[in-house]
Structure 1
Amino acid sequence: MTVLDLVRPRVTPVQAIQDSLRAGREIALLDLREEGPFAAAHPLFAVNLPLGRIEERIAALVPRRNAPIVVYDDGEGRVARALSVLAALGYGNVSVLEGGLSGWRAAGGEIFIDVNVPSKAFGELVEHVRHTPSIPARELNERLERGDDLVILDARRFSEYNTMSIPAARSVPGAELALRVRDIAPSPETTVVVNCAGRTRSIIGAQSLVNAGIPNPVFALRNGTIGWTLAGLELDHGATRRAGAPSSEKVTQARAVARSLAQRTGVRVIDPEGLDALAADPRRSLYRLDVRSPEEYEAGHLAGFRSAPGGQLVQATDEWVGVRHGTIVLTDDDGVRARMTAHWLRQLGWREVYVLDDRADLPRIRGPEPVMLATALPDVEVISARELSDALQDADAPLVIDLAPSPVFRKGHIPGAVFAIRSDLHEHGRLKGADIVLTSPDSISACYAAADLRRQGAHVRVLAGGTKAWQAAGLPLAVGLDERVALSRPDDVYKRPYEGTDNAAAAMQAYLDWEFGLVSQLERDGTHGFRVLEDGQDL
Structure 2
Amino acid sequence: MNSSASTTLAPVLLQALLLAEPAGELALLDVRETRWFVQRHPNLARNAPLSGLELQVGAFVPRRSTPVVLYDDYNAPDGPAQAAVAVLARLGYTDVRTLDGGLQRWVTEGLPAIDGYGTLVKAFGDLARLHYGTPSLSVDALRARRREGLPATLIDARPRAEFEFLSLPGARNHAGTELALRRFEADDAEHVWAINCFSRTRGIIGATTLRLLGRAPDAVFVEDGVMAWGLQGAPTVQNAVPDDELPPESPEVLRRTADELLERFALPVADAAQLASWCADDTRSLYIFDVRPTADPAFADTAVQQVPGGQLFMHFENLVGTRGARIVLIDDPAHRLRAAVTSFWLTQLNQAEVYVYDGALSPEQAPPAQAVTVSDAPSPLDAEALAQLRRNGAVTVIDVGASLDYERGHLPGALYMLPASLGPLASHAVAGRTLVFTSPDGAAARRVARDAQQRWPGSGAVFTWLRGGTEAWKASGRPLSTAFVPAQLLTPFDDDWGSVMRVFGPRRDAVWVDYLAWERALAARVLQDPSVRFRFFPTGQVPDRAARS
TM-score by length of 1: 0.91
Letter aligned with residue 353 of structure 1: V
Give me the whole-angstrom Cα distance separating, in 2, the residues matched to 1:278 and 1:261. Answer: 25
Letter aligned with residue 518 of structure 1: L
Q: How does 1:525-536 map to 2 (within 5 A)?
A: 525-536=529-540
* Residue in 2 that maps onto 1:408: 405
Letter aligned with residue 405 of structure 1: A
Q: Relative to structure 1, is the Cα distance of residues 18 and 179 closer, same or farther in structure 2, using a 3 angstrom cutoff? A: farther
**What is the number of equivalent residue pairs in this alignment?**
526
**Gaps spanning 5+ residues in structure 2: where?**
none
**Other structure's SS at 1:63 match:** coil
Give me the whole-angstrom Cα distance separating, in 2, the residues matched to 1:171 and 1:240. Answer: 9
Deviation at 1:312, TM superposition (A): 1.3
Deviation at 1:372, TM superposition (A): 5.8
Is 2:475 the counterpart of 1:472? yes
Deviation at 1:361, TM superposition (A): 5.8
**Other structure's SS at 1:393 match:** helix
**Other structure's SS at 1:527 match:** coil
* Residue in 1 that maps onto 2:221: 220
**Other structure's SS at 2:127 match:** helix
Is 2:63 the counterpart of 1:64? yes
Give me the whole-angstrom Cα distance separating, in 2, the residues matched to 1:247 and 1:516. Answer: 34
Deviation at 1:470, TM superposition (A): 1.8
Give me the whole-angstrom Cα distance separating, in 1, the residues matched to 2:167 and 2:247. Answer: 21
Is 2:433 the counterpart of 1:453? no
Q: How does 1:116-135 map to 2 (within 5 A)?
A: 116-135=118-137
* Residue in 1 that maps onto 2:25: 26
Q: After alignment, is 62-71 or 276-285 more displaced?
A: 276-285
**Other structure's SS at 1:86 match:** helix
Letter aligned with residue 201 of structure 1: R
* Residue in 2 that maps onto 1:278: 278
Q: After alignment, is 322-331 or 298-307 more displaced?
A: 298-307
Is the contact between residue 442 and residue 469 of structure 2 (CA under 8 Å) also seen in structure 1?
yes
Deviation at 1:189, TM superposition (A): 5.5
* Residue in 1 that maps onto 2:40: 41
Deviations 1:155-198 (A, max 9, x none): 11111111111111111111112221x34557775311110001
Deviation at 1:145, TM superposition (A): 2.8
Deviation at 1:475, TM superposition (A): 2.3
Deviation at 1:147, TM superposition (A): 2.8
Give me the whole-angstrom Cα distance separating, in 2, the residues matched to 1:494 and 1:316. Answer: 14
Deviations 1:272-307 (A, max 9, x none): 1111111111111101001111x3645989954211
Q: How does 1:21-420 map to 2 (within 5 A)?
A: 21-22=18-19, 23=21, 24-75=23-74, 77-180=79-182, 182-183=183-184, 185=186, 190-214=191-215, 216-241=217-242, 243-244=245-246, 246-248=248-250, 251-293=251-293, 295=294, 297=296, 304-333=303-332, 334-359=335-360, 363=364, 373-395=371-393, 397-420=394-417
Deviations 1:223-269 (A, max 9, x none): 01111112221112222225355232xx4334334333334444211
Is the contact between residue 303 and residue 370 of structure 2 (CA under 8 Å) also seen in structure 1?
no
Is the contact between residue 424 and residue 491 of structure 2 (CA under 8 Å) also seen in structure 1?
no
Q: Relative to structure 1, is the Cα distance of residues 323 and 427 closer, same or farther in structure 2, using a 3 angstrom cutoff? A: same
Deviation at 1:522, TM superposition (A): 2.1
**Gaps spanning 5+ residues in structure 1: where?**
none
Give me the whole-angstrom Cα distance separating, in 2, the residues matched to 1:522 and 1:266. Answer: 27
Give me the whole-angstrom Cα distance separating, in 1, the residues matched to 2:362 and 2:439. Answer: 39
Letter aligned with residue 140 of structure 2: R
Is the contact between residue 439 and residue 462 of structure 1 (CA under 8 Å) also seen in structure 2?
yes
Q: Relative to structure 1, is the Cα distance of residues 266 and 44 closer, same or farther in structure 2, using a 3 angstrom cutoff? A: farther
Is the contact between residue 267 and residue 352 of structure 1 (CA under 8 Å) also seen in structure 2?
no
Q: After alignment, is 251-260 or 49-58 more displaced?
A: 251-260
Deviation at 1:536, TM superposition (A): 2.6
Give me the whole-angstrom Cα distance separating, in 1, the residues matched to 2:291 and 2:479. Answer: 37
Give me the whole-angstrom Cα distance separating, in 1, the residues matched to 2:526 and 2:260. Answer: 29
Give me the whole-angstrom Cα distance separating, in 2, the residues matched to 1:362 and 1:416. Answer: 43
Is the contact between residue 173 and residue 311 of structure 1 (CA under 8 Å) also seen in structure 2?
yes
Identity across the alignment (%): 34
Give me the whole-angstrom Cα distance separating, in 2, the residues matched to 1:343 and 1:489. Answer: 40
Is the contact between residue 191 and residue 216 of structure 1 (CA under 8 Å) also seen in structure 2?
no
